[in-house]
Amino acid sequence: MAKQYDVLLRLLVLGDSGVGKTCLLCRFTDNEFNSSHISTIGVDFKMRTLQVDGIKVRVQIWDTAGQERYQTITKQYYRRAQGILLVYDITSSSSFQHILKWASDVDEMNVLSLFGLLAVFIFIHNFIVTWLFHVYYPILQHLN
Ligand SMILES: Nc1nc2c(ncn2[C@@H]2O[C@H](COP(=O)(O)OP(=O)(O)OP(=O)(O)O)[C@@H](O)[C@H]2O)c(=O)[nH]1
């Protein structure tokens, strides 16, 4: 079976509830518009495959719920995304002001993952130092 795509791109859409995230995705993936607002529950996703310079790029877009109560679920997806679209409603100034809050939430998750990397680094460093002092040097001394 022929390969369906060459590159997979994972994107995430964030923004207040009702700003039109789902509609934006429906337009991009199916060229459809639905005027009713059915709030996304947790996270949903849509896909579209594009041809870019002869390369088949599958764009996988995660549509998140804007409602506060789903944020524990939606935050789990921040780190897996390769790109984030911050969406606001041009007729709602508060949804625009909240963009800063959405962006800082994303930053916060990145800082957490940096701490994770630092913790792994410290663990590996300590492991090597312990191994050198307690295993390698005693063996060397014993051999001398
Ligand atoms: N006039 C107008 N209405 C829009 C546009 N895009 C979306 N809407 C309307 O805005 C409402 C909310 O759209 P959704 O796409 O469901 O909003 P959402 O951001 O996904 O909302 P949550 O899932 O609750 O986070 C719907 O009633 C849409 O019809 C637009 O470009 N123009």
Predicted confidence (pLDDT) per residue in 105-136, tens digit: 888 876 666 666 666 666 676 777 777 777 77
Does 92 sit in the ligand 1 pocket, CB within 6 Å? no
Contacts of 5 (CB under 8 A, 6+ apart): 49, 56, 57, 58
What is the ipTM for the molecules in this complex? 0.96
Is 61's C-beta closer than 6 angstroms to any atom of ligand 1? Answer: no
Task: Calculate how far, in angstroms, residue 23's C-alpha sits from the geometric centre of ligand 1.
Answer: 6
Residues in the chain with pLDDT < 70?
1, 110-123, 125, 144
Handedness of CA 22, 68, 117, 131 (dihedral sign): negative
In terms of Cα–Cα distance, which of 54, 55, 73 is closest to 64?
73
The answer, as to whether pTM is greater than 0.80, is no
